[in-house]
Structure 1
Amino acid sequence: MSHEDTPTPHPDGPHAKIVRMANQIGTFFLSKPHAEGVAGVAEHINKFWEPRMRRQFFAALDEGEAFLPIVREAAAGVRKPE
């Protein structure tokens, strides 16, 4: 998938910033072998995103926001915030 194929979140949507950030991480990891890339996205989010951001991430997933497929797949490895 090229950068031009990156889904675009609604610019005024409540989750636009989280979607953009997650897709930037996903774009970086697209150059890795698939399994490594998926794990890398989840690891990055777990390591660097605070619980509030992860809550927003899961809310955006539930609402069907425009995440890259690698980000959607990585969500299974992201820790749910308490």
Structure 2
Amino acid sequence: MSHVISEQRMANQIAANQRHLPEADAVAAVAGHIDRFWNSFLRSRLYALVDAGAAGLDPVVVKAVERIRT
């Protein structure tokens, strides 16, 4: 049984809710949501998952994190 970390699950759900948008708009929407509504603890845990190359992270989430960090 695989264990999905809650930050990964939540971020992937946000990305799934943006599937109707073109990818660039979805990335912007996910980045905006995470930046506005996630506290620094949750963001840092998500960043660590991206840095570790966590399997199962939606590519839109990875791009959103890259966007937030720039």
- Cα distance, 1:27–1:70 mapped onto 2, change above 3 Å: same
Q: Pick from 32, 36, 42 the counterpart of residue 31 of structure 2.
A: 42
| Other-structure match for 1:74 | 64
Identity of paired residues, percent? 35
- TM-score normalised by structure 1 residue count: 0.75
Larger Rg: 1
- TM-score normalised by structure 2 residue count: 0.86
Task: Give 1:41 deviation, angstroms.
Answer: 0.4
- In 2, Cα distance between equivalents of 1:45 and 1:79: 11
Greater mean alpha carbon deviation, residues 58-67 or residues 16-25: 58-67
- In 1, Cα distance between equivalents of 2:33 and 2:59: 16
Residue segments in structure 1 that go unaligned for 5+ positions in a row: 1-9
Count of residue pairs brought into register by the alignment: 68
The AA in structure 1 aligned to 2:26 is G
- The answer to whether residue 49 in structure 2 is matched with residue 56 in structure 1 is no
After superposition, the C-alpha distances for 1:28-69 in whole angstroms (9 at most, x for unaligned) are 111111111110000000010000001001111111112111
Tell me if the contact between 1:18 and 1:56 (Cα under 8 Å) persists in the aligned partners. yes
Q: Pick from 27, 44, 50 the counterpart of residue 16 of structure 2.
A: 27
Measured on the aligned residues, the alpha-carbon RMSD in Å equals 1.6
Greater fraction helix = 2
